Amino acid sequence: MRQSPELLRRLLRSKDRMDGAPHEDWPIKRLAHVSAVSVAHFSREFKKAFGTPPHRYLLTRRIERATALLRDTDLPITDIALQTGWNSIGTFGRIFKDITGDSPGEFRERESSISHVQREIPECVMRAANRPNLKIAVSEKRRIQSVGKLGVQSD
Residues contacting residue 7 through CB under 8 Å, at least 6 positions apart? 37, 45, 49
Residue 155 lies in a domain: no
Residue 27 lies in a domain: yes
Q: Looking at the structure, do residues 100 and 27 belong to the same domain, yes or no?
A: no
Number of domains in the chain: 2
Kindly report the length of the chain: 155
Q: Looking at the structure, do residues 62 and 32 belong to the same domain, yes or no?
A: no
Residue at 2: amino acid letter: R
The range of the structural domain enclosing residue 28 comes to 5-51
Whole-number pLDDT of residue 133: 64
Whole-number pLDDT of residue 39: 94
Q: How much is the CA Rg of the chain, to the nearest whole Å?
A: 17
Q: Looking at the structure, do residues 28 and 76 belong to the same domain, yes or no?
A: no
Residue 140 lies in a domain: yes
**Report field, pTM of the whole predicted structure over 0.75:** no
- What confidence category does residue 149 fall into, taking pLDDT thresholds of 50, 70 and 90? low
Residue 123 lies in a domain: yes
Q: Looking at the structure, do residues 60 and 133 belong to the same domain, yes or no?
A: yes
Whole-number pLDDT of residue 45: 95
Whole-number pLDDT of residue 115: 54
Residue 20 lies in a domain: yes
59-114 pLDDT, tens digit each: 989 999 999 999 999 999 999 999 999 999 999 999 999 888 999 999 999 888 87
Number of CB atoms found within 10 A of residue 28's CB? 16
**Residue 136 reports pLDDT greater than 70:** no
Q: Looking at the structure, do residues 95 and 44 belong to the same domain, yes or no?
A: no
Q: Looking at the structure, do residues 146 and 79 belong to the same domain, yes or no?
A: yes
121 vs 86, higher pLDDT: 86
Average pLDDT of the chain to the nearest whole number: 86
Domain end residue (candidates: 35, 51, 67): 51
